[in-house]
Structure 1
Amino acid sequence: MQPYERRSGDGQVVRPATPSLSDLPETTNGTLLGGRIAYHQFRQGYRTGLEPVLMAALIPARPGNRVLEAGCGAGAGLLCLSARVENLMLTGFEIDPATAALARINLVLNASKDTQIVTGDICNAGQILNDTPEISSFRFDHIFANPPWHREDATASPEPRRDKARRARKDTLHRWISTFASLLREKGSLTMAIPSTRLAETLAACEKVRIGSAEIIPLWPHEGEEARIVLIRARRGGQAGSRILPGLVLHKDDGSFTPAAEAILRNGQPLYSESFRSPRRVSGPQKDL
Structure 2
Amino acid sequence: MPDLSALSSGTLMAGKILYSQFLKGNRTGLEPVLMAAAVPARPGQRVAEIGCGAGAGLLCLTHRIPELSVWGIELDSATLALAEHNLKANGRTGVTLLNARFPDALPPDFPFGQFDHCFANPPWHDTDSSASPMEQRDLARRAMPDTLESWIKGATRLLRYKGSLTLALPATQMAAACTFLTRARFGDVTLCPLWPKTGRQARLMLIQARYGVKSPSRILPGLVLHQQEGGFTPESRTILKEGSPLILHRQQASRV
TM-score normalized with structure 1 length: 0.84
Hey, what's the Cα distance between the residues in 2 that align with 1:27 and 1:142? 31
Q: Any idea what SS the aligned residue of 1:194 has?
A: strand
Residue 32 in structure 1 maps to residue 12 in structure 2: yes
Which residue type is aligned with residue 189 of structure 1? S
Q: Structure 1's 137 and 163: CA in aligned 2 closer, same or farther, altered over 3 A?
A: closer
* TM-score (structure 2 length as normaliser): 0.95
1:277 corresponds to which of 229, 251, 254: 251
Task: Report the Cα distance in structure 2 between the residues aligned to 1:278 and 1:114, rounded to whole angstroms.
Answer: 23
Aligned partner of 1:206 among 158, 175, 181: 181
User: Quick check: 2:112–2:159 contact (8 Å CA) kept in 1?
Assistant: no
CA distance in 2, matches of 1:29, 1:247: 32
* Partner residue of 1:84 out of 64, 72, 86: 64
Unmatched 5+ residue regions in structure 1? 1-18, 284-289
Candidates 94, 113, 133, aligned match of 1:158: 133
Q: CA deviation at 1:161?
A: 1.2
Q: Is 1:106 the equivalent of 2:86?
A: yes
Q: Does 1:73 find its partner at 2:53?
A: yes
* Equivalent residue, structure 2, for 1:231: 206
Identity %: 49
CA–CA distance in structure 1, aligned partners of residues 57 and 167 of structure 2: 12
Which residue pairs with 1:244 in the alignment? 219
Distance 1:24 1:38 in 2: 15
- The C-alpha deviation readout for 1:241-284, integer Å capped at 9, x for no partner, is 110111111111233111111000000000116x14178x898x
Instruction: Give me the whole-angstrom Cα distance separating, in 2, the residues matched to 1:137 and 1:193.
Output: 23
- Residue 42 of structure 2: SS of its match in structure 1? coil
Q: 1:26: how far off?
A: 1.2
- RMSD of aligned Cα (Å): 1.9
Listed one character per residue, the Cα deviations across residues 76-128 of structure 1 (whole Å, up to 9, x for unaligned) are 10110011112100000111111000000111111111102111111225x42
SS of the counterpart of 2:118? strand
1:24 deviates by 2.3
1:85 maps to a residue whose letter is: I
**Is residue 104–residue 116 contact of structure 1 (8 Å, CA) maintained in 2?**
no
In 1: Cα distance, 2:39 partner to 2:122 partner: 16
1:278 to 1:191, Cα distance in 2 relative to 1, 3 A = closer
Unaligned runs of 5+ residues in structure 2 are: none
The alignment covers a number of residue pairs equal to 256
Q: State the alpha-carbon separation in 1 of the partners of residues 63 and 102 from structure 2.
A: 24
Please state if 1:149 is matched with 2:130: no
Q: How far apart, CA to CA, are the structure 1 residues paired with 2:149 and 2:128?
A: 18
Q: What is the alpha-carbon distance in structure 1 between the residues aligned to residue 61 and residue 71 of structure 2? A: 12
Amino acid at match of 2:33: V
Cα distance, 1:182 vs. partner?
A: 1.3
Task: State how 1:247-262 maps to structure 2 within 5 Å.
Answer: 247-262=222-237
Q: Which has the larger radius of gyration?
A: 1
Poorly superposed stretches of 4+, deviation over 4 Å: none
C-alpha distance in structure 1 between counterparts of 2:191 and 2:245, whole Å: 15
Q: Is the 8 A contact 1:195 1:230 kept in 2?
A: yes
Instruction: State how far apart, in whole Å, the 2-side matches of 1:193 and 1:25 are.
Output: 30
Determine the C-alpha separation between the residues in 2 that align with 1:102 and 1:144: 19
Deviation, 1:193, is 0.5
In 2, distance between residues paired with 1:85 and 1:100? Answer: 22
Report how far residue 227 of structure 1 moved.
0.4
CA contact under 8 A between 2:162 and 2:210: conserved in structure 1?
yes
Letter in 2 for 1:164: L
